[in-house]
Amino acid sequence: MPSPTAPHSESSDLAATVMRVGQIGFDAPAALLARFDLQLQRVPAGEAIPGSFWGDEEAGIIGNTVYARDDTPVHSLLHEAGHLIVLPAERRLRVHTDATDSIEEEDATCYLQIVLADQLPGVGRERLMTDMDAWGYSFRLGSTRAWFERDAGEAREFLQARGLIPATP
């Protein structure tokens, strides 16, 4: 199970190398989120990101909107979007900053952000898992990849039961 942790330390060399939204642009992520009836709102550089749980450059969520700046890590945008995607539509509208206190939803969100990365040109799950590790996501098996491949069965079943990912044959 993933363990939510505070984001990277600003001095971390690895965290400095994570892919940022400004590197891939806002068009592809906005189109991806729109498929789930979500909006992506670009926040100007230097402004606080509305609905950001961690602050700094971390993505934020309010209702059906995900907020990000050019310096927002792609994994953060996908994680916050994932929180909204796993929620029923009627719960989304009540979300402001903190989407859940459910371990089941947190696990599903982490799994979904990895799957969604494959739908963003130039990102993909390999890069996203590397960035998640660099940023400080904490998993029982020691890495994002190990969790995703060997310990995320319940998260996968949660998403499959809701039709968010295809059932595995």
Per-residue pLDDT of 87-109, as tens digits, reads 988 899 899 998 877 999 999 99
- How much is the pLDDT for 167? 87
Q: How many CB atoms lie within 10 A of CB 92?
A: 21
More confident residue, 39 or 93: 39
- How much is the pLDDT for 169? 56
- Whether residue 113 is predicted with pLDDT greater than 90 in this model: the reply is yes
pLDDT category at 14 given cuts 50, 70, 90 is low
- How much is the pLDDT for 123? 98
Helices 74-86, 124-135: inter-axial angle, 10-degree rounding: 100
Averaged pLDDT for residues 74-90: 95
Nearest Cα to 131, choosing from 67, 43, 72, 51?
72
- Whether residue 12 is predicted with pLDDT greater than 60 in this model: the reply is no
- How much is the pLDDT for 139? 86
Say which range, 38-47, 85-94, 108-117, has the weakest mean pLDDT: 85-94
CA distance 24 to 116: 14
- Within 102-152, residue ranges assigned H as helices are 103-117, 124-135, 144-150
CA distance 133 to 145: 9
Helices 103-117, 124-135: inter-axial angle, 10-degree rounding: 130
- How much is the pLDDT for 5? 47
